[in-house]
Amino acid sequence: MQALLKTAANMSIHDTPVIRGMSADSAAANANLCGRGHLDLECGASQTRTMAHSYIKLDFGTDEEKAQQARHKLDGWKQAFRLDKRLLYKLDRPESDAGEAGSKPEPVEKPAPAAKSQAKTAANPKAKTAAKASKPAAEKSASATNGKVALLVRLYFSSHEKLSEQRWLERIPSEEPFKSASPKVVHHSDPEFESTDQKFEALE
């Protein structure tokens, strides 16, 4: 009976380091899985986050005031919710350059009325000052009414922020002044996404 107890004690003593050695080996094996040679496994995959972005197109037509209101509202949201680079926007004025180019050659064909007006303003100094003051006002009003303005908004959230991205994609088009600007959401899977992305990068 004593011999059996001794053998059992010897077996327990010799078995403990084996179990400890196995647990240490398994821990080392698990640690090696996350080493430099196994970056393509699950342990390394959690460190990389894919970023997906979407766009919202807003067309304000010739309403410059509403476009500025939209800019201020987006800036307020960025500061209040700390969106930073998650929400970016750029103004698009597609016909501003064409309108300026088309309005330049017209006054060249009328030299005679210019000479008459110079004679009249020379005789009347008050008319001369009034004519100078009316020119810049007319130029500003012409550029405001003829130039179209659009807004391109980019939402750039990581993969674990899909819920936040979806909320902003629903909130922005549903509120003024965005609601009246014919909002159009462009997702990454849409056919026009690539052209929209290139246009956003080209805008200043």
**Predicted confidence (pLDDT) per residue in 8-57, tens digit:** 555 544 444 444 444 555 544 454 544 444 444 444 444 444 567 899 99
Task: Say what the pTM is.
Answer: 0.56
Q: Which residues of the chain have pLDDT under 50?
A: 12-22, 27-29, 31, 33-49, 98, 100-103, 105, 115, 119, 121, 127-129, 131, 133-145
Quick one: pLDDT at residue 32?
A: 52
Per-domain residue ranges for the chain?
Answer: 51-94+148-202, 110-146
Q: Which fold has domain 51-94+148-202?
A: Alpha-Beta Plaits (3.30.70)
Nearest in space to 184 (alpha carbons), one of 162, 147, 148, 152: 152
